[in-house]
Structure 1
Amino acid sequence: MKNHIARALLICAGLLASYPAIAQNTDTALVPLPSLDDFTKGEDGWAVGLGLGVEYETAYEGSDEFGFEIQPAGAVQWRSGDNIFYFAGEAFGWRGRRDDVWLFEALLGFEEGREEGDSDEGYLDGLGSQEEGFEAVFQARRAFSTDWRYWLVGRVVTGGDGNLGLFGIGRRFGDQTDGSGSEINLVAVFHDSEYANKGFGINDAQSAASGLDAISLSGGLRSIGVDYSFRYYVRENWQIYGEALFEYYSSEVQKSPIARSDYEAEVGIGFIYVF
């Protein structure tokens, strides 16, 4: 039943993306990409967008259990020329556009970790809970032209438990300059051994407590993924947004007993009111 609901959400997202926005905004976003929210309407100063979304996703990395989660949406932003500083949920960040074809971003966010109770079926029992903490994210995108039709993207995530890197290529659909429309990215994800074992490693003590085979992973390719984002104005100040993500794990990750599925998936949709 849950899988049917997830497919329905994806179909709804596709139908919305296939129609023009009900109310087109003529403002210019810092970068016209729907995956990057910009509530400033092209003006310097403060901007606020608040909303709510629902996500259907895997319970934890490698899980074959799915569930719904309600999430707040939006951000408080301050724009100065080609720079936006923002607070969004559990993250503080900055974005800056340079030479009209470069976008740089840096943020400090909160990582929730993993609890044994994240698995309703008890698949994480005996593995212990992972501590919550902060992680830093650095991103750069290089467009092939000033209309941001195609671009290259690179991202690094680092914190107290290793490092993760993402590299890929993206394409934008539509000609809007207000940040609405849709986009798709194809990416390859890499992790070092510390980050890999945080999510999928099992040491001897955890093996004895859980009954799962011990495993230690090395760094390298983590997964190949694709994500799709859309954002549209349904009224002058109302946005509808959504995202669908699919990540296929590498053969080494699939060997871990924690990876009960060879993929991770997520779909979400929500509304934001822009003040």
Structure 2
Amino acid sequence: MKKIVLQVATFLGALSCFGSVNATETRTPLVPLPSIGDFTNGDGWGVGLGLGVEYETAYEGSDEFEVEVDPAGGVQWRTGENIFFWAGEAIGWRTLARDSWLFQTSLGYEEGREEGDSEDGRLDGLGESSSGATVLLEVRYALAEDWRYFLDGRVSAGEIGTLGIFGAGTCLACQPDGTGWEIGAVVTFHDGELANRDFGVDTQQSIDSGLPETDVDSGYRSTGFNVSYRNYVNENWQIFGEALYEAFGSDVSDSPISRNDYEAEVGVGFIYVF
């Protein structure tokens, strides 16, 4: 993700019109899930600004790890059970239906892999993989009161291919203000275009890199586990953490681009909620 430089003083001045939440107030998010940030307080504008630090694999299938600092938070506007949001490189809308269905759609941008992503030169000759806009559609369904257990389905499609994610999760010690722990397990599938974008080697790439020509079939991609944590230090300061482990299927791990049969990342950060 490209780094975003913010003119903090000017931005904070512009946001002062949104005000802040009194110490005695309790924020009421759309759903009490730590992985779904809601900076509003029922209706109107909500703004959160912060930073996150991630320790993660350098690219899909890499055995190299790197530290990356990215902006965190976003701008939201809520009316009833609908939230319109901008966060990072995505804009979108989510809505709650019948207290147990959460629908979300967003438009984002996915950057491609570059040869320089490998400091060890393991991507030399492969060139840059394609970048492009993606549309995300997500549905979550609550299996128990207060979203203690839920099912999750996501489809991301665009110029770079299609990815499907299906899973289930549980919210541990979650509070009405959207804080607590969330644990999930997912299975992912990809089409041939996305599979070969990330793990394939075409004829020209094989000649330039010396890697064997590889065509990856569509279908099963990986099984993953994730943990999310969110908590308010006080009425405005929020801390968060997340961890992800993704074990690749045999078709992916057999690719010469895959130096590991898994992907992993862990991140922590803070957000100031106005």
Compute the TM-score of the two structures, normalised by the length of structure 1: 0.90
Tell me the CA shift for residue 161 of structure 1.
2.0
CA distance in 2: counterparts of 1:269 and 1:252, whole angstroms: 32
The aligned counterpart of 1:79 is: 78
Question: Is it true that 1:158 corresponds to 2:157 in the alignment?
Answer: yes
Question: Is it true that 1:271 corresponds to 2:270 in the alignment?
Answer: yes
Counterpart AA for 1:34:
P
Helix, strand or coil at the partner of 1:199: helix
The aligned counterpart of 1:213 is: 212
The aligned counterpart of 2:110 is: 111
Question: Is it true that 1:172 corresponds to 2:168 in the alignment?
Answer: no
Tell me the CA shift for residue 145 of structure 1.
2.4
Helix, strand or coil at the partner of 1:147: helix
CA distance in 2: counterparts of 1:174 and 1:26, whole angstroms: 17
Helix, strand or coil at the partner of 2:145: coil
CA distance in 1: counterparts of 2:24 and 2:154, whole angstroms: 31
The aligned counterpart of 1:17 is: none
Instruction: Identify the range of structure 1 (142-151 vs 57-66) with the bigger mean alpha-carbon deviation.
Output: 142-151
Tell me the CA shift for residue 112 of structure 1.
1.2
Contact 1:75 1:88 in 2 (8 A): yes
The aligned counterpart of 2:132 is: 133
Tell me the CA shift for residue 235 of structure 1.
1.0
Question: 1:89-131 deviations in whole A, cap 9, x for unaligned?
Answer: 1110111000000000001111111100000000000001123
Tell me the CA shift for residue 24 of structure 1.
9.7
Contact 2:33 2:174 in 1 (8 A): no
Tell me the CA shift for residue 28 of structure 1.
1.8
CA distance in 2: counterparts of 1:130 and 1:252, whole angstroms: 19
1:26-105 equivalent positions in 2, closer than 5 A = 26-42=26-42, 44-105=43-104
CA distance in 2: counterparts of 1:25 and 1:37, whole angstroms: 18
Helix, strand or coil at the partner of 1:266: strand
CA distance in 2: counterparts of 1:149 and 1:26, whole angstroms: 20
1:193-232 equivalent positions in 2, closer than 5 A = 193-232=192-231
Tell me the CA shift for residue 74 of structure 1.
0.4
CA distance in 2: counterparts of 1:229 and 1:160, whole angstroms: 29
Helix, strand or coil at the partner of 1:36: coil
Gaps of 5+ in 2: 1-22
Helix, strand or coil at the partner of 1:120: coil
Contact 1:73 1:272 in 2 (8 A): yes
Contact 1:78 1:84 in 2 (8 A): yes
Structure 1's consecutive aligned runs of 4 or more residues displaced over 2 angstroms after TM superposition are: 23-27
Tell me the CA shift for residue 156 of structure 1.
0.2
Counterpart AA for 1:30:
L
Tell me the CA shift for residue 132 of structure 1.
2.5
Gaps of 5+ in 1: 1-22
The aligned counterpart of 2:16 is: none
CA distance in 2: counterparts of 1:34 and 1:203, whole angstroms: 41
Helix, strand or coil at the partner of 2:146: coil
CA distance in 2: counterparts of 1:89 and 1:65, whole angstroms: 25
Question: 1:155-196 deviations in whole A, cap 9, x for unaligned?
Answer: 001011211100011000114111111101100000111111
Tell me the CA shift for residue 25 of structure 1.
6.7
Q: Provide the alpha-carbon RMSD of the alignment.
A: 1.2
Counterpart AA for 1:37:
G
The aligned counterpart of 1:190 is: 189
Tell me the CA shift for residue 41 of structure 1.
2.1
